[in-house]
Amino acid sequence: MSTPQAAPVAATEPRSRAGRAERGQTLVVVAVMIVVLIAFLGLVIDGGNVYAQRRQLQNAADAAALAGARAQLLKGTAAVASAASQYATANGADGCEVVTTTNTVTANVSKTVETFFVRVVGINSMPVGASATAAISTPTSLTCSFLPLTVPYKEPSQWPTGQFTIWQRCDSSKNDVCSNTVDIQESMNGWLNLDGKSADPNSGAVDSRHLVCWICPDRSTCSDIQNPGVDLGWVNGTPGLDSNALQAVDSCAEGKTVYIPLYGSVCCDQNNAAKWGSAVCPSTMPNLGNGQCNYDIVGFAPFHITSVKDTGDTRAITGYMDWDYVGDNCVVSSGDGGRPAGLYVIKLIR
């Protein structure tokens, strides 16, 4: 009987080396695929982060452009860069460059975003940028929140620094407690006839609503009122009117800052000029409405209404001048920035 022999070693060694080589190649492929997958994962995660940072940076650009435009309006071109950079930094930007023209401010903001996963392919950070342009214009019609009660024009430095009464109906003969700080009496005010309707609330159903709708435009009963705005120049109105409008101020303007129109001159119709201590309107003046007087609107001022008393013999609107207020991107300029004093609109155009 023959003795069994072991399998030849030479026959198995080539296959063993080949298997090890295949396993080594597989490991290389897997390693490469892992790197590729991590790169793709990094593109998704880091790319999403960059997109989110880009959206936040757009907010920074918008804020910087608006702040720069406001600074240009109020203080002049020299103040633009500092104001824009301050708002850009506060909103997460690393840098801010501004480009100004006479009526526009463009803010170009930038930021470097650190990466998480694409570092494996040598990308440690990504630059992100955004741009916005804000424009300064004068309103052809008033688009800002305001009170349709016009008062005499004063320079900003001439207004009281604290709280005072901007409108007061006070009859001392009835033992009313009259304010000693009131600068504007009833006869000096004018409730404006803004939509071409009567300023007299007793003249008709639609006319009795128009002042209320200007003060409280969100009311459902005002959906059919077409509000063209307040232009600088002559506007019709009636002095002393308070019954409906004052209640509207109490219901939806108390505690808010609104713009009040300021008039430089006033004239009234023949029957009311003497009553309101005004000149008679010239015959050449066009018919602006059926209110008693016409007011030459020359500017606007932000007034914060702290309290309204709309009942009794003593009625009043009390508050203070809020010169730093910016509402709906509307800004009142005192003229320090080189433009005439008045109300301006600042809005993003790109």
Q: Domain check: are 19 and 77 in the same one?
A: yes
Which among 101, 175, 183 is positioned nearest to 136, based on CA atoms? 101
* Residue 257 counted as domain residue: yes
Model confidence, pTM: 0.62
* Residue 52 counted as domain residue: yes
* Residue 251 counted as domain residue: yes
* Cβ contact 57:93 at 8 Å: yes
Q: Domain check: are 125 and 193 in the same one?
A: no
328 — alpha (psi -120 to 50), left (phi > 0) or beta? Answer: left
CA distance 106 to 97: 8
Q: Domain check: are 204 and 328 in the same one?
A: yes
Q: Model confidence at 206, in pLDDT bands (50, 70, 90)?
A: very low
Residues 6+ apart with CB under 8 A from 229: 139, 140, 141, 142, 143, 194
Q: Domain check: are 89 and 189 in the same one?
A: no
* DSSP code per residue over 190-205: EEE-TTSS-S-TTS-T
Q: Domain check: are 177 and 303 in the same one?
A: yes
* Residue 5 counted as domain residue: no
CA distance 65 to 162: 32
Q: Mark which of 86, 102, 136 sits at the end of a domain.
A: 136
Bigger pLDDT: 207 or 37?
37
* Residue 120 counted as domain residue: yes
* Tens-digit pLDDT profile for residues 298-344: 888 889 999 988 887 778 888 998 887 767 677 877 778 888 777 78
Q: Domain check: are 50 and 89 in the same one?
A: yes
* Tens-digit pLDDT profile for residues 45-54: 666 666 677 8
pLDDT of residue 202: 45
Q: Domain check: are 227 and 130 in the same one?
A: no
Give CA angle at 144 (142, 149), nearest 5°.
Answer: 75
* Tens-digit pLDDT profile for residues 120-139: 567 777 788 899 999 998 87
* Residue 207 counted as domain residue: yes
Range of the domain at 289: 149-348
Q: Domain check: are 198 and 100 in the same one?
A: no
* Cβ contact 128:110 at 8 Å: yes
Q: Domain check: are 238 and 343 in the same one?
A: yes
Q: Domain check: are 155 and 125 in the same one?
A: no
- Asked if the model's pLDDT at residue 175 lies above 50, the reply is no
* Residue 143 counted as domain residue: no
Q: Mark which of 136, 160, 175 sits at the end of a domain.
A: 136
Indicate if the alpha-carbon torsion angle 184, 186, 187, 190 is positive or negative: positive
Q: Domain check: are 329 and 184 in the same one?
A: yes
* Cβ contact 235:194 at 8 Å: yes
- Whose structure tokens read 């390693």? 31
Average pLDDT along the chain: 77
Q: Domain check: are 225 and 319 in the same one?
A: yes
Domains identified in the chain, total number:
2
pLDDT of residue 162: 87
Bigger pLDDT: 199 or 41?
41
* Residue 243 counted as domain residue: yes
Bigger pLDDT: 323 or 223?
323
